[in-house]
Amino acid sequence: MWRALALPVRAILLAVGFLFFYGGAAAFSWIGIPLLLLLRREKADRIPISRRVVGLWARALFGIGRRCRFLTFQPGMGLSELPLGPCVLIANHPTLIDVTAFLARYGHLCCVTKKRLFRDPFMGPILQQCDYIPGATGGPFAGSSVVLAGINRLNEGQCVLIFPEGTRSPIGGLQTFQRGAFEMAIRAEVPVLPFLVTCDPVILNREASLFQALWQSSRYSIVQLPKLNPQDWKGDAAAMASHAEELFRQHLPVAKHVELSKP
């Protein structure tokens, strides 16, 4: 009975969370960015400011999620600072909020993002001002232009976040890792930092209904796995990708679907 009573309240809170997500994006896109263009005419000056704003917005979003008891995730807990210098961050991709989670902790990252989002009226202007990398049609690593853009960012001293599966992970598993992330690291001679993302029960996944979030809180976490040095693979990006995929499979727990019980 209590679930039936709590359901409308949680539904309203979930709607408020989505409103904050898209409302914040719209406010920055349509108000913040035009002001930023007036104050900072050089793109190089706007990029760090835009990324800092996105990081603050992401932390606020997860703060709302904790207070509403949808997610248990503290962006500042359990994750150390990134090493000095450029690097490639890789992670599995179980939920829709994984990019946001990384930006809540490491707001200065450059991300490889779906190309269609650059045309979105809410998100597009933000992605452009943050100088993120648009993925190629058919997957984030379908074209060499994505790899070359990543190498350029790394050569500039930036850290690049990539999901080597190229799409969201199946519940409890992984897609095959594509080699683009590792090609970037090898050619730019930078380390690869693997991060294992878990969400139990999984929400905001193609196989999991959004309404599952109404019934219970999800335990969301990001754990860093051992660093990978590209020199150990002597230029073989495919072998490095295969090793990284196996590393993730060894550490990946079995996620569970949420069974929706009737009130």
pLDDT digits (tens, 9 = 90+) for 168-208: 899 888 999 999 999 999 999 999 999 999 988 887 787 76
Residue 145 in tokens: 């232009």
Give me the pLDDT at residue 203, please: 78
Measure the N-to-C terminal CA separation of the chain; round to a whole number of Å: 6
CA neighbor of 214 nearest in space, from 173, 162, 261, 159? 261
- Compute the distance between CA of residue 101 and CA of residue 55 in angstroms, rounded to an integer: 9
Instruction: Please tell me which residue, 239 or 256, carries the higher pLDDT value.
Output: 239
Helix/strand/coil for 239: helix
pLDDT, position 102: 94
Q: Grade residue 136 by pLDDT with cuts at 50, 70 and 90.
A: confident
Q: Mean of the pLDDT values across residues 136-145?
A: 63
What is the distance between the alpha carbons of residues 110 and 42, in angstroms, rounded to a whole number? 18
Could you tell me if 54 and 75 are in contact, meaning their C-beta atoms sit under 8 angstroms apart?
Answer: no
Q: What is the mean pLDDT of residues 28-50?
A: 89
Q: Is 112 helix (H, G, I), strand (E, B) or coil?
A: strand
pLDDT given at position 258: 38
> Residue 6: pLDDT above 80?
no
User: What CATH number was assigned to the domain covering residues 2-251?
Assistant: 3.40.1130
The Cβ of residue 86 has, within 10 Å, a number of other Cβ atoms equal to 22
Q: Give pLDDT tens digits for 57-92.
A: 998 888 888 877 778 777 666 788 898 899 999 999
Write the CB contacts of 33 (distance below 8 Å, at least 6 apart in sequence): 50, 125, 126, 129
Say whether pLDDT at 151 is over 90: yes
pLDDT bucket at 256, cuts 50 / 70 / 90: very low
